[in-house]
Amino acid sequence: MKSIAVIDTGYESYDYELELFHEHGYQLIIYNGPARDRKLQLDFAREAAGILVRGTSIDEEALDQMPNLKAIVRYGAGYENIDIETATSKGIRVANVQGYANHSVSDHAIALMFSCIRNLGGNSVLNFGKPARKEVFELHNKTLGIIGIGRIGSHFSRKTSALFERTVAYDPYKTAEYMQANKAEKTDLPELLNKSHVISLHCNLTDETQYLLCEAAFLKMQNKPVIINTSRGPTICEKDLLKALNSDTIHSAGLDVFEKEPPGKDQEMLLKHPKVIFTPHIAWYSDRASYELQKRAADNMLALLSGKHVDDELH
């Protein structure tokens, strides 16, 4: 019986995948060795026809070790850890799961935004009745800037539009009409950086967006904005973010993603900064989103192996 391997585990149950694949003649095998040991993970999946991955790097070296591989599906929307070009050249089909967490991530970004503005992480019973920070502002006369207004960014824009006086968005791949339909005005990046009081990132990680917020970008920020990142960690240069926090260039930062994950000792100064509120890359999660993610990943895998078209296929 051909096998499909889960090489990045972490979900409570794989009952849906087990039943679906068994019904169609595939055995689901689930890696249970040490986490983030790529050599063991790839050895485990060596004979698999399909692999389900989360964060493990699937590059040319990995692909060369799996001669029977026909399909890769990533549990999630991002796919920067998969060498799609090499996979395609080898006849291996690749898909992710798009749109499953539009509500979860946009809700989480709103939670981080309010946590930063209201300083919800910095209070103490010892100072009962006194705000821990004086710089708490209202939103009704402020401008929101959204970088990347695709599936998640558009949900975030529509949900927050009533809170702000103005919402502007930067996304070179979306039209002004699309943005207007999603309660935002199209603008360029320098204008967004200059005018916004809150800046929320919702873009994919590409060569264009890596370190999109760096020292030069922070220096363009005139309104001491709150920075929210629920997209991908390397869209922000953390060294420059820390400098912006220390120099009072920005108000605060709400982070769910980081340059290196899980964060290491060299990132402790950022994580422990009094103007930073962070969560451990969990913006994607809700009970509904988690179920949909696993179900659609399994459905996509079976479709790819069966030669069918899926909307989430990557080329």
**Per the residue annotation, which of 232, 251, 259, 296 is the catalytic one?**
232
Q: Kindly report the backbone phi and psi dihedral angles of residue 113, in degrees, each rounded to the nearest multiple of 5, phi listed first.
A: -60, -50
User: Do residues 71 and 27 lie in contact, with contact meaning Cβ atoms separated by under 8 Å?
Assistant: no
104 within 8 A of 286, measured Cβ to Cβ: yes
In contact, 28 and 4? CB cutoff 8 Å: yes
Asked if residue 262 has a cis previous peptide bond (ω within 30° of 0), the answer is yes
The span from the CA of 141 to the CA of 8, in Å, is: 45
The one catalytic residue in 47, 165, 208, 261 is 261
How far apart CA 81 and CA 56 sit, in angstroms, is 7
Query: Is residue 288 annotated as part of the catalytic site, yes or no?
Result: no
Tokens at 169, concatenated: 């968005």
Structure-token pair, residue 14: 């794989």
Told to judge if 60 belongs to the known catalytic residues of this protein, a careful annotator would answer: no
Check if 151 is active-site. Answer: no
Report the alpha-carbon angle 94-96-97, nearest 5.
150
Question: How many other β-carbons are positioned within 10 Å of the β-carbon of residue 5?
Answer: 23
What is the enclosing helix (H) or strand (E) of 313? strand 313-314
The amino acid at 141 = N
Could you write out the DSSP letters of every residue in 95-114?
E---STTHHHHHHHHHHHHH
In the β-sheet with 93-95, what is the strand arrangement from edge to edge? 26-30, 2-6, 50-53, 71-74, 93-95, 313-314
Give me the amino acid identity at 260: K
Single out the catalytic residue among 74, 108, 155, 281.
Answer: 281
Question: Which are the catalytic amino acids?
Answer: 232, 261, 281
